[in-house]
Amino acid sequence: MRFDHIAILDWSAAGRPRRGKDSIWLGLAGPQGVTAENLPTRATAEARLNALVAEALAAGERLLIGADLSFGFPRGFAPALTGAAEALSVWAWLAARLEDGADNANNHRALAALANATFPGEGPFWGNAARAEVPGLPRRKPALPANLSEFRETDHACRAPGVTPSPVWQLAGAGAVGAQNLTGLPVLQRLRTRFGGAVSVWPFEAPDAPVVLAEVYLSMLSAEVRALCHENPAMVTDEAQVRLLAQALMALSRQDALAPLFAPDQPPALLAEEGWTLGAGQQMALRAALPATRTPPRLRNDCFAMPQGVDWVPVDEALDRLRAALHPVTALQTLPTAQAAGRILATDCTARRSNPPRPNAAVDGYGFAHAATGAGPQRLPLVAGRAAAGQPYAGAVPQGAAIRILTGAILPGGVDTVVLEEDTALDGAAVLFDGPVKPGANTRNAGEDVAEGALALPAGHRLRAPDLALLSALGIAEVDVYRPLRVGVLSTGDEIIPSPATPAAPHQIWDANRPMLLALARGWGCEAVDLGHVRDDAARIGKRLSEGAAKADVILTSGGASAGDEDHVSALLRARGTLSSWRIAVKPGRPLALALWEGTPVFGLPGNPVAALVCALVFARPALSLMAGGGWQQAQGFTVPAAFSKNKKPGRREFLRARLNAEGAAEVFKSEGSGRISGLSWATGLVELPDGALEVTPGTPVRFFPYAAFGLV
Ligand code: AMP
Ligand code: MG
């Protein structure tokens, strides 16, 4: 089964012309690609649909129109309303009665009230956002008439974590769809009558006419929709939804893979009465048909350029420049919350439900209505039964009575206060305690922790173990996260032996930087990509950088980054990449080479392990965090007294290997020699001395940054 064009319709029951969010959108996929149109009124939308059908028929092409409407109603509704257990008879009933003006003014509420009159009791339709009362249409949810259920079979099949279809009976309120059905189905009914056998409505009719109408559910692609909106902040959700669903169905059509979607394993009578959502139960096939929704934007080739004539750059300016040059470069993915530890949130997480969802007991004890108690000895007769966590008490507790209640139990009706078990006595039939007890004592309010809809965690937050507890408690089953940033690490130098497992001659040294930088990257939540070691040979370094650019989002090199004869990395980056040597006024650390190699940023760190670590912590760490989606991470230090003396000269910011002594003062490593690798392990952090001159004596306040402040674990 193939179609030449797919049209996806997102409907609106608005009472006035409307554009943008929550208005009518039409997504179109075909040979020309994917487009979307925003239609301000139902009349313009109907005209557009007519034109699309007419064009397809004239061209001898097939068109699938997917409409985000419930084509049918829960079992029992159609026969009660029309005498026939068929959804299409409801379509005819609605089309004969709906009045809808060119300005969107319409009578759908009166129509719902008319349908309600067929049923005993108040419903099934409910909800009225208008000011005027509509006789026969309750504002609040009534009890459903017997034999009518809230949902259709297909609604259950459409459920997914975080995705819950709204009941067809609800006409108003957040996410309500009922009014859309009442105003939309008549339009589709007229399409059928206008074009006769050229249009078939699935699943009521075989999907083999030139034009097929089918019900779709736009929230099926919600993860992909979020990603697309994230990439295009100006795009409204509705537009992203119709575009992506049209695109996914078109892709399946091209692969000739649509047939299974049109073959749900359901009884024909159920399909005829309730309808079926195209793709229900097969959401993954639809999602998988979409290409990656986000190609991360590339960095600009000149992003690291330094203005001419700049000699030494102060550390703060270098950091500002780096921050301005970079942005997140990794793609989004959706993960089950439980598997997302260590990942960075790409979108805000909002509470799906309040925590706690209902008022409940904070202790084991006895619950009662505070109003019936006072000062002095209290005696409240106990009702039979109890309220426990997970075992709510069904009845209400009369004023003046009490109920046994356990921690976490929802407060039964009539209970607003709990007295602690230890403060009570029992006399067999009643609980005794001394008043007064504070109103609401030992209870927790609904939402007192987090209210439904409140921001739980913001985009950019890196998820830690406690965050998984919070998200789970708030019903957030899936999160949008960034794919881990891939950090390639390459060592260079003729003197370097890649592994201490191999013997080294006296003129050779073992590679100390690579294991250090790989472990650092891993600790930062990145995916560390070992690019090995290469000799000081431009051709080999270039080849390895190209391999790295394909495998990693960013590359850290060490060694050969200065401007001397043997500084092959910077020579190569200057010749073939877009090198900018940043002469940063920092000690330890020589110039930091920053370049793009085939579009991938390269941080050329000094070879000296002490300088390599300091530059990695001070410059690479915030930059990598920004690229990974976690925002610029400014290390948080604190001021402590110095336990050392030093006459610091002006000109360069200095970082000293340091640790706190028993008094909480910072002592520094005995040697500032940048070859002293042992000092890195001796230290628990760095002392930062300012750019200007400073005479440090014991007691002078200095800034100490524990290693942990740089995310070093
Ligand atoms: P370079 O930046 O290449 O001039 O190197 C500066 C110093 O760091 C030299 O003494 C190198 O031998 C040393 N060095 C360079 N790379 C490494 C490495 N991967 N491990 C340990 N020391 C290194
Ligand atoms: Mg070297």
Residue pLDDT, tens place only, 348-373 = 899 989 999 999 999 999 999 999 99
Is the confidence at residue 238, as pLDDT, over 70?
yes
Superfamily, domain 360-444: Molybdopterin biosynthesis moea protein, domain 3. (2.170.190.11)
Mean pLDDT of 464-486: 94
Contacts of 430 (CB under 8 A, 6+ apart): 379, 380, 381, 382, 402
Does ligand 1 come within 6 angstroms of the Cβ of 561? Answer: yes
Name which of 18-32, 278-292, 680-694 the model is least confident about: 278-292
CA angle 658, 664, 666 (to 5 degrees): 25
Q: E strands, 195-308, where?
A: 199-201, 211-215
Please name the fold of domain 638-710: Beta-clip (2.40.340)
Number of the ligand closest to the Cα of 491: 1
Q: How confident is the model at residue 533 (pLDDT cuts 50, 70, 90)?
A: very high
Atom of ligand 1 lying closest to residue 564 CA: 4
- Can you give the C-alpha Rg of the chain in angstroms? 34
Cβ neighbours of 406 (radius 10 Å): 19
Q: Tell me, what's the pLDDT at 611?
A: 94
What is the chain's length?
A: 713
Does ligand 1 come within 6 angstroms of the Cβ of 609? Answer: yes
pTM: 0.67
Q: Tell me, what's the pLDDT at 296?
A: 60
Do 486-627 and 638-710 fold alike per CATH?
A: no
Does ligand 1 come within 6 angstroms of the Cβ of 513? Answer: yes
Q: How confident is the model at residue 2 (pLDDT cuts 50, 70, 90)?
A: very high
Average pLDDT along the chain: 93
Going by alpha carbons, the residue nearest to atom 6 of ligand 1 is 607
Is the confidence at residue 307, as pLDDT, over 90?
no
Mean pLDDT of 148-152: 95
Q: Tell me, what's the pLDDT at 292?
A: 59
Ranges of each domain in the chain = 67-289, 334-354+451-482, 360-444, 486-627, 638-710
Q: Tell me, what's the pLDDT at 295?
A: 54
CA of 511 to the centre of ligand 1 (A): 8
CA of 81 to the centre of ligand 2 (A): 85
Q: Tell me: the pLDDT tens digits for 586-642?
A: 999 867 888 889 889 999 999 999 999 999 999 999 999 999 999 999 899 999 999
Residue range 334-354+451-482 in CATH 3.40.50.720: no
Is the confidence at residue 294, as pLDDT, over 60?
no
Q: Tell me, what's the pLDDT at 439?
A: 97
Is the confidence at residue 282, as pLDDT, over 80?
yes
- The structure tokens listed for 394 are 């069904």
User: Between β-strands 554-558 and 486-492, what pairing exists: parallel, antiparallel or unpaired?
Assistant: parallel
Percentage of the chain beyond pLDDT 70 is 99
Name which of 388-402, 442-456, 559-573 the model is least confident about: 559-573
Q: Tell me, what's the pLDDT at 297?
A: 65
Q: Tell me, what's the pLDDT at 224?
A: 86
Mean pLDDT of 130-147: 92
Number of the ligand closest to the Cα of 495: 1
- The structure tokens listed for 288 are 């998988």
Mean pLDDT of 434-450: 96
User: Between β-strands 360-361 and 509-510, what pairing exists: parallel, antiparallel or unpaired?
Assistant: unpaired
CA of 329 to the centre of ligand 1 (A): 30
Q: Is the Cβ–Cβ distance between 297 and 329 less than 8 Å?
A: yes
Burial of 488 (0-12, 13-18, 19+ CB in 10 A): buried
Mean pLDDT of 22-42: 93
CATH class assigned to 486-627: alpha beta
Does ligand 1 come within 6 angstroms of the Cβ of 494? Answer: no
Euclidean distance between CA atoms 441 and 466, whole angstroms? 28
